[in-house]
Amino acid sequence: MSTLLIRDAAHVETFDAADRVLRDASIFVRDGAIEALGPAAALPREADRVVDARGCIVIPGLVNTHHHFYQTLTRAVPGTQDVELFDWLVALYPVWARLTPAALRSATTVACAELLLSGCTTASDHTYLWPNGCRIDDEIAVARHIGLRFHASRGSMSVGQSHGGLPPDAVVEDEASILADTQRAIETFHDAEPFAMTRVVVAPCSPFSVSPDLMRESLALARSYGVHAHTHLAETLDEERFCLERFNCRPVELAEDLGWLGADVWHAHMVHPSPAEVGILGATRTGVAHCPTSNMRLGSGIAPIGALLAAGARVGLGVDGSASNDSSHLLDEVRHAMLLQRVAGGASAASAREMLRLATRGGAAVLGRDDVGYLAVGMAADLAGVRLDSLALAGGAVHDPLAALVFCRPNVDFTIVNGKPLVEHGAFTTLDIERVVAQHNELARALVSA
Ligand SMILES: [Zn+2]
């Protein structure tokens, strides 16, 4: 039994069903779950561990619904900076083919660290190539060591260039091995219990890198274990053309044909659904990971988030991989989501609160979690705090603390996951970040220049 007290927060945004805002409030945590929250004077004053939240705004921990951790090794690589998705992939596949277990572990560390510093407490990763002995075990071990709540996707690619796919043959796997290793990952690591720190996701990469058979088999495997299924879909117009030429249907029609719709499925991007397809996604409660920075970086387009939400789709935010963002700053993603919707729909198209809701409750719904995403008694103690007197918020938080978080985009002062402070006073409690970055830079240089 261990207790934690987040004491005397100036401002708590619960994002509960009533959107309650508490002032001068504390949060008492026992064994990783919120036992009480309310006026500081009504709560205990002491606990095994105390986080001083005076002068801070506290929000639910953010939930990241799409990432490729390994890409933190290939940010801003010359030759990939100014091209669209297919050219970008073709340039990077041979580099990623040299990924090693040590590099994957380092990349996972870097991505988790960046996410934590932006207030993220639950993250999904989608790794879809496993060269040179890399395994999902490498990522899960790192996430557990750091303490981030982690949904690990066992991704895959099976159709190489010699069979009309986009990736080189060297980075694809045979389908029997993919399914066998995915089953192993589920049986070894997936935890279906409330407050789970590790869940496994089945995640073939995209229509242009796996076969329809593997899509069907992957979904059947996921459903037989009650785990969620994830892929990329409707990201670019090139992909739409590929699907029309190869399968004689649009990407969402392909997903429908393959059974890839429903409350246990989520798709990254969904930039180009037709109005009818938006209706299908909504009616089936299919999930969408909106990745606005990546969509801007690759010039992919603007996802119709308002229409998807209005239709009933579950929508969360994702930073996407670090080779197309090139940051894992989830609060930055909230800001970009707000701004990009405004490019398409005008200044009232998206508010700070609406977009922060996507990054909290929205992301939790996309990942199929009812124990994170808002602050209430009985929920997981996953939360983040930002000093209202920080430089980034100067002249903003005094007017509207919540809006300032999104418009001004600070780093956090503390991040707590499962009742454990992983960032305190803006620094990591479980990581020697200078050593991590030095090692990562060596690995990144070796990977790209080999
Ligand atoms: Zn992606």
- Ligand 1 centre from 16 Cα, in Å? 29
Q: Is the pLDDT of residue 129 over 80?
A: yes
What number is the average pLDDT over the span 404-433? 97
Contact 374, 15 (CB under 8 A): yes
Residue 166 phi/psi, 5-degree rounding, is: -85, -40
- Ligand 1 centre from 246 Cα, in Å? 22
Q: What is the dihedral of CA 399, 400, 406, 410, to 10 degrees?
A: 60
Q: What angle do CA 184, 267, 241 make, to 5 degrees?
A: 115
The candidate with the shortest Cα–Cα distance to 256, out of 219, 308, 304, 203, is 219
The radius of gyration of the chain from alpha carbons, rounded to an integer in Å, stands at 21
- Ligand 1 centre from 439 Cα, in Å? 25
The candidate with the shortest Cα–Cα distance to 213, out of 166, 159, 252, is 159
Helix (H) / strand (E) element for 138: namely helix 136-146
Residue 29 phi/psi, 5-degree rounding, is: -120, 135
C-alpha span between 393 and 306 (Å, rounded): 28
- Ligand 1 centre from 66 Cα, in Å? 6
Q: Supply the pLDDT for residue 201.
A: 98
Contact 56, 6 (CB under 8 A): no
- Ligand 1 centre from 71 Cα, in Å? 10
- Ligand 1 centre from 206 Cα, in Å? 9
Contact 362, 315 (CB under 8 A): yes
What number is the average pLDDT over the span 358-364? 98
- Find the distance separating the first CA and the last CA of the chain, reported in whole Å: 50
DSSP secondary structure letter of residue 380:
B
In the chain, what percentage of residues exceed pLDDT 70? 100
The candidate with the shortest Cα–Cα distance to 114, out of 442, 422, 446, is 422
- Ligand 1 centre from 437 Cα, in Å? 23
pLDDT band for 207, please (50, 70, 90 cuts).
confident
Q: Supply the pLDDT for residue 450.
A: 77
- Ligand 1 centre from 323 Cα, in Å? 10
The first and second tokens of residue 22, run together, are 């508490």
- Ligand 1 centre from 320 Cα, in Å? 5
- Ligand 1 centre from 112 Cα, in Å? 16
- Ligand 1 centre from 421 Cα, in Å? 29
Q: What three-state secondary structure class fits 215?
A: helix
- Ligand 1 centre from 316 Cα, in Å? 14
- Ligand 1 centre from 25 Cα, in Å? 38
- Ligand 1 centre from 51 Cα, in Å? 35
- Ligand 1 centre from 67 Cα, in Å? 6
- Ligand 1 centre from 267 Cα, in Å? 10
Q: Is the pLDDT of residue 76 over 90?
A: yes
- Ligand 1 centre from 271 Cα, in Å? 12
In the chain, what percentage of residues exceed pLDDT 90? 98
The first and second tokens of residue 324, run together, are 């197309």
pLDDT in tens, 108-125: 999 999 999 999 999 999
Residues in contact with 62: Cβ distance below 8 Å, sequence separation at least 6, in sequence order: 118, 119, 120, 121, 122, 317, 330, 331, 334, 359, 360, 363, 384
- Ligand 1 centre from 268 Cα, in Å? 6
- Ligand 1 centre from 304 Cα, in Å? 18
- Ligand 1 centre from 101 Cα, in Å? 20
Q: Is the pLDDT of residue 1 over 80?
A: no
Contact 307, 297 (CB under 8 A): no
- Ligand 1 centre from 212 Cα, in Å? 19
- Ligand 1 centre from 47 Cα, in Å? 41
What number is the average pLDDT over the span 254-283? 97
Q: Is the pLDDT of residue 131 over 80?
A: yes
The first and second tokens of residue 2, run together, are 């261990």
Q: What three-state secondary structure class fits 298?
A: coil
pLDDT in tens, 271-289: 999 999 999 999 999 999 9
Residue 157 phi/psi, 5-degree rounding, is: -135, 135
C-alpha span between 291 and 288 (Å, rounded): 9
Q: What angle do CA 413, 415, 420 make, to 5 degrees?
A: 130
Q: What three-state secondary structure class fits 248?
A: coil
Q: Is the pLDDT of residue 208 over 90?
A: no
The candidate with the shortest Cα–Cα distance to 282, out of 295, 302, 267, 294, is 267
Contact 151, 199 (CB under 8 A): yes
- Ligand 1 centre from 169 Cα, in Å? 20
Q: Supply the pLDDT for residue 227.
A: 98
- Ligand 1 centre from 4 Cα, in Å? 36
Hey, which bits of 282-380 come out as E strands?
A: 287-290, 314-317
- Ligand 1 centre from 338 Cα, in Å? 20
The candidate with the shortest Cα–Cα distance to 215, out of 261, 249, 250, is 261
Residues in contact with 347: Cβ distance below 8 Å, sequence separation at least 6, in sequence order: none
- Ligand 1 centre from 121 Cα, in Å? 19
